[in-house]
């Protein structure tokens, strides 16, 4: 896509979904990652957690910037139901419980992003509402055993069976739910 010619995007994420979304949007990038502990203050408002974690990841990966032309992109997604955050499940049982809680409910997905260069930092987020059909206990167990959604906020992926068969409606963008609000990233990169 059309980006400023002197800008090189560095994705600081191991997420194959974020790489896929950038590739599909035609946004060139390279990948460099750093390990950052994803911890936020307990009094953080739920809608602010994902952007807070995106900024935290960017600060922890700042050393990966190799020139003034590089812009680091970090992101984090959370699923919110009734003011409670559902991150990545700890194990199979936790995944089953999480999906069981989301079943038949409307929940919010917030994907926070941070763009960071040696001279500038901006933090923003995309928000989407997901309306889920009821999922039976047997369907939940089958999904968890087949797809192993242990690296996904809310224990499911919109691009897998749950997204295809058990989401009745979304408000917001599909990429935001998948893990990167590409429309917002692109707009911010154009003016970065």
Helices (H), 75-136: 92-102
Catalytic option among 48, 76, 91, 145: 76
Q: How far apart are CA 181 and CA 50, in angstroms?
A: 12
> Is 91 known to be catalytic?
no
Output the DSSP codes for 41-79. Answer: -TTS-HHHHHHHHHHHHHHHHGGG--STTEEEEEEEEEE
Q: Are strands 121-132 and 167-171 parallel, antiparallel or unpaired?
A: antiparallel
Strand pairing class (121-132; 106-116):
antiparallel
Distance between CA 174 and CA 181 in Å, rounded? 8
Cβ atoms within 10 Å, residue 37: 7
User: What are the residue numbers of the active site?
Assistant: 76
């Amino acid at each position: 896509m059309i980006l400023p010619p002197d800008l090189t995007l560095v994705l600081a994420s191991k997420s194959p979904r974020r790489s896929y979304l950038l590739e599909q949007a035609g946004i060139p990038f390279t990948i460099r990652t750093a390990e950052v502990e994803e911890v936020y203050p307990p009094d953080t408002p739920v809608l602010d957690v994902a952007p807070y974690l995106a900024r935290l990841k960017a600060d922890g990966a700042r050393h990966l910037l190799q020139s003034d032309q590089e812009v680091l992109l970090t992101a984090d997604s959370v699923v919110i139901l009734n003011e409670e955050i559902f991150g990545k499940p700890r194990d199979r049982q936790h995944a089953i419980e999480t999906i069981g809680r989301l079943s038949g409910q409307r929940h919010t997905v917030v994907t926070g992003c941070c763009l960071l260069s040696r001279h500038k930092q901006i933090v923003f987020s995309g928000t989407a509402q997901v309306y889920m059909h009821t999922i039976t206990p047997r369907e939940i167990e089958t999904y968890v055993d087949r797809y192993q959604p242990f690296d996904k906020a809310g224990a499911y992926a919109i691009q897998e069976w749950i997204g295809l068969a058990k989401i009745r409606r979304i408000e917001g963008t599909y990429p935001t739910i998948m893990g990167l609000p590409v429309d917002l990233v692109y707009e911010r990169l154009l003016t970065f």
